[in-house]
Amino acid sequence: MAARLGFPPRLMIVSDLDHTMVDHHDPENLSLLRFNALWESNYRHDSLLVFSTGRSPTLYKELRKEKPLLTPDITIMSVGTEITYGERMVPDNGWENFLNEKWNRDIVVEESTRFPQLSLQSVTEQRPHKVSFYVQKGESEAVTKSLYERLTNRGLDVKIIYSGGMDLDILPQGAGKGQALAYLLKKLKGEEKLPLNTLACGDSGNDAELFSIADVHGVMVSNAQEELLKWYAENAKDNPKIFHASERCASGIIQAVGYFGLGPNTSPRDVDDLSTCKLDIFNPGHELVLFYLLYERWHRAEVEQSSDTIESMKKINSHNGVLIHPSGVELPLHECIDAFAAFYGDKKGKQFRVWLDRVSSTKISANAWLVKFDKWETSGL
């Protein structure tokens, strides 16, 4: 979980994905790319990123193929019923065992068939501790109340969550995004790695629980849905730790980081002159993000085609710097920069973007760092 950090994380961001971290109305994914640049340049080395989504593992992996999402340290899926760690998504067996108490999936399915208003979601969305349906908005309240009573009478301890204007999920009472977050915080505290600050981010009804956890800051993005706004008006409008952003999705998350004073909130993507984007303490990840933003702007013809721009790229990197390709081939960095100088503007007018993921660095001598990262490029028409 936080094994890569030998100290308490400076910040832990826990974010929903659809319509929160990911803006499906942003075809160029600019707000998400702004967040990515901010995270990898300022936070990856000492903070934790958690994605908390209603999606099943199958749909979560599909989204990762469609959108420029970073690799989180922790993934909470299926409305808080599954917790996994790292890129390999190693499951938390302790959480699974906890959810088995007073839960019987067969009974949930049996009782649900008595309600013709409910239609099952796809097979991929039916999980060991989650049964999911679609229901019309006008029928959701009555169905939820009646179904809850029937399941309680059968000896189960469940919760029913309605969100997105049509999704109805039945979970163990101990499950949910909020409980999963509380479990993680307790686990981190036991490891003496409780984050100095935690920011929960959401847009729909199944995110409300995130804002109910003690000592957690919360942001509702500007495009928050009706059911979350209703919950906020009834339960938290006077809570100073919950902020309703004026910006959409990932841009709203960035806005909240600044609003609560949790750390830097100027994305390098928002800086016109990257030479002015400096940190008080040297961070190789920050320099790397600046370099590849300049690289992107060079290809898009958004910077001046001059020797000064090429020299700016070289200044970010040591003259002794070496790029080690995944194939094992080693190339002097300054030679690589000279080589792509000839490609100025070859992506002009295209949706060419570059982003970095999983940036990590190790100081290997007094004046040398080993930096590892994943570089991604997309080039639409």
Average pLDDT of the segment spanning 184-207: 95
pLDDT at 1 over 70: no
Together in a domain, 189 and 301: no
pLDDT at 320 over 90: no
Together in a domain, 201 and 304: no
Q: What's the structural domain count of the chain?
A: 3
Q: Measured between alpha carbons, how far is 224 from 202 in angstroms, rounded to an integer?
A: 7
Backbone φ and ψ of 22, nearest 5°: -105, 125
- As given in the structure block, the two tokens for residue 354 are 């570059």
Kindly report the pTM of this predicted structure.
0.91
| Res. 158 pLDDT band, cuts 50 70 90 | very high
Average pLDDT of the segment spanning 299-326: 85
pLDDT at 62 over 90: yes
Q: What is the CATH number of the domain that holds 25?
A: 3.40.50.1000
Largest CA distance in the chain: 76
Whole-number average pLDDT of the chain = 93
Last residue of a domain, one of 266, 290, 311: 266
Together in a domain, 80 and 148: no
Say if 2 falls within a structural domain. Answer: no
Together in a domain, 180 and 34: yes
Say if 6 falls within a structural domain. Answer: no
- What domain range is 16 assigned to? 12-90+175-266
Say if 1 falls within a structural domain. Answer: no
Helix (H) or strand (E) holding 12: strand 12-15
pLDDT score for 201: 98
pLDDT at 84 over 70: yes
Last residue of a domain, one of 115, 140, 172: 172
Last residue of a domain, one of 266, 284, 314: 266
Query: How does pLDDT run across 113-156, given as a tens digit for each residue?
Result: 999 999 999 999 999 999 999 999 899 999 999 999 999 999 99
pLDDT at 2 over 70: no
Q: At what angle do helices 30-42 and 249-259 cross, to 10 degrees?
A: 40
